[in-house]
């Protein structure tokens, strides 16, 4: 199989089976690309994760695009992103059709009762594998523990990422008596969109706005270019504009759209696809999907080649170490939060335990575990 075909297959499979949000998606990418196929090392994967967390937009989608670029060059960049996004978007469009026809969503919740503990086990396995290259010194381990505590306390993720990177880079500079400015500037260049891309805010319609495909596209292009955070942050953006200011959707429709993005495999930001379908059918779904994901391709194309260069500079490398350990802490915080919500019954604890044993000791492919859990949920529900 050629590298490009391999990229297409891996990310198509993930686009159809990767439930559970960005942390779970990244865990499955690690298993496919690092453990099974050895496209890159654990340390290289961790560097990509740290750099990706500094960019706005859907993190797991940007990670997929980065990995496609590494494996198959520029064609891989495009193919990985499309194969991860398109299957999920197609499923969301089908749910949008059912929603418009019957006025409610299919009953997905019962099946997800079986899937969610499996996804937590997958993330725990990924964290355990990434922990050694991330916390490679006692100082980094302590920094990661502090970042985890602050994340659980509700501190903004960007404050943690940039703060950990700047602190650890400054520590290294102080020890080595180096001038850090040029090196640190290289690191921040990978996140330069944080400053530059918000100018797209001025391109998006503001104030009362009648629906049109162009307004829909520009709105989601803005979100894809400037939004940090989870699907809940996306909910706040959509609530303010689409429900409160423009009246394009009702609050109930918006909550259903967020739910669809959360419970379907692939990128959570396919919420935009569902919204676009409700507003404009297939053309609306297409333009909304293109708008929210297009910035990810551009950001990875601009920053992808910078990540390996960071390791060539001692100070920039130290900054990246700090960002990496904070990224892993954020994954841990998400896992603990989700675990508190999901692991509330003996069944969920049993599924988690069995899944963890199968993943760690028998090295079962996570895709098979997810498929089996979905089947069990459908049969037992």
Q: Could you report the per-residue pLDDT of 152-195, keeping only the tens digit for each?
A: 887 877 688 778 888 888 877 776 654 444 444 444 444 444 44
Mean pLDDT is lowest, of 8-12, 184-188, 241-245, for 184-188
pLDDT of residue 194: 45
Calculate what percentage of the chain has a pLDDT beyond 70: 82
CA angle 305, 309, 314 (to 5 degrees): 155
pLDDT at 200 over 50: no
Q: Which residues contact 128 (CB under 8 A, 6 or more apart)?
A: 360
pLDDT at 34 over 90: yes
92-143 pLDDT, tens digit per residue, is: 999 889 888 876 665 555 666 777 787 788 778 777 777 877 788 888 889 8
CA angle 136, 175, 316 (to 5 degrees): 60
Provide the Cα torsion 356, 32, 128, 333; round to 10°: -90
pLDDT of residue 231: 54
pLDDT of residue 8: 96
Burial of 343 (0-12, 13-18, 19+ CB in 10 A): middle
Q: Which residue has the higher pLDDT, 207 or 85?
A: 85
Q: What is the crossing angle of helices 231-238 and 271-303, to 10°?
A: 120
Q: What is the crossing angle of helices 366-380 and 109-134, to 10°?
A: 160
Q: Which residues contact 200 (CB under 8 A, 6 or more apart)?
A: 221, 222, 225, 226
pTM across the whole model = 0.70
309 CA to centre of own chain = 24
pLDDT band at 285 (very low <50, low <70, confident <90, very high): very high
Burial of 45 (0-12, 13-18, 19+ CB in 10 A): buried
Cα separation, 129 vs 116, in Å, equals: 20
């Amino acid at each position: 199989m050629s590298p490009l075909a391999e990229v297409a297959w891996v990310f198509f499979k993930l686009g159809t089976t990767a439930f559970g949000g960005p942390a779970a998606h990244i865990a499955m990418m690690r298993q496919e690309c690092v453990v099974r196929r050895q496209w890159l090392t654990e340390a290289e994967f961790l560097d990509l994760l740290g750099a990706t967390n500094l960019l706005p937009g859907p993190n797991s989608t940007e990670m997929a695009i980065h990995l496609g670029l590494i494996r198959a060059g520029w064609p891989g960049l495009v193919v990985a992103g499309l194969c991860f996004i398109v299957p999920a978007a197609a499923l969301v469009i089908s749910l949008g059709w059912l929603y418009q026809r019957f006025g409610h969503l299919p009953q997905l919740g019962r099946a997800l009762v079986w899937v969610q503990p499996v996804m937590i086990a997958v993330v725990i396995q990924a964290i355990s594998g990434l922990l050694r290259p991330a916390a490679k010194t006692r100082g980094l381990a302590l920094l990661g523990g502090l970042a985890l505590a602050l994340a659980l306390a509700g501190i903004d993720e960007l404050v943690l990422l940039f703060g950990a990177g700047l602190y650890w880079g400054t520590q290294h500079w102080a020890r080595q008596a180096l001038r850090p400015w040029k090196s640190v500037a290289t690191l921040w260049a990978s996140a330069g969109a944080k400053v530059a891309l918000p100018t797209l805010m001025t391109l998006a319609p503001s104030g009362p706005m009648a629906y049109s495909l162009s307004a829909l596209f520009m709105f989601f292009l803005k979100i894809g270019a400037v939004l940090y955070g989870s699907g809940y942050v996306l909910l706040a953006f959509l609530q303010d504009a689409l429900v409160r200011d423009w009246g394009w959707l009702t609050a109930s429709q918006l909550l259903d759209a967020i739910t669809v993005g959360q419970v379907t495999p692939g990128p959570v930001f396919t919420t935009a696809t569902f919204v676009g379908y409700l507003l404009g059918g297939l053309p609306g779904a297409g333009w909304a999907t293109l708008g929210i994901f297009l910035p990810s391709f551009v950001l990875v194309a601009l920053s992808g080649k910078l990540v390996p260069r960071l390791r060539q500079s001692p100070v920039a490398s130290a900054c990246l170490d700090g960002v990496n350990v904070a990224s892993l802490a954020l994954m841990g915080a998400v896992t603990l939060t989700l675990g508190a919500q999901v692991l509330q019954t003996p069944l969920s604890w049993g599924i988690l335990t069995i899944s963890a044993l199968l993943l760690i000791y028998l090295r079962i492919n996570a895709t098979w575990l997810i498929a089996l859990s979905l089947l069990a949920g459908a049969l037992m529900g």
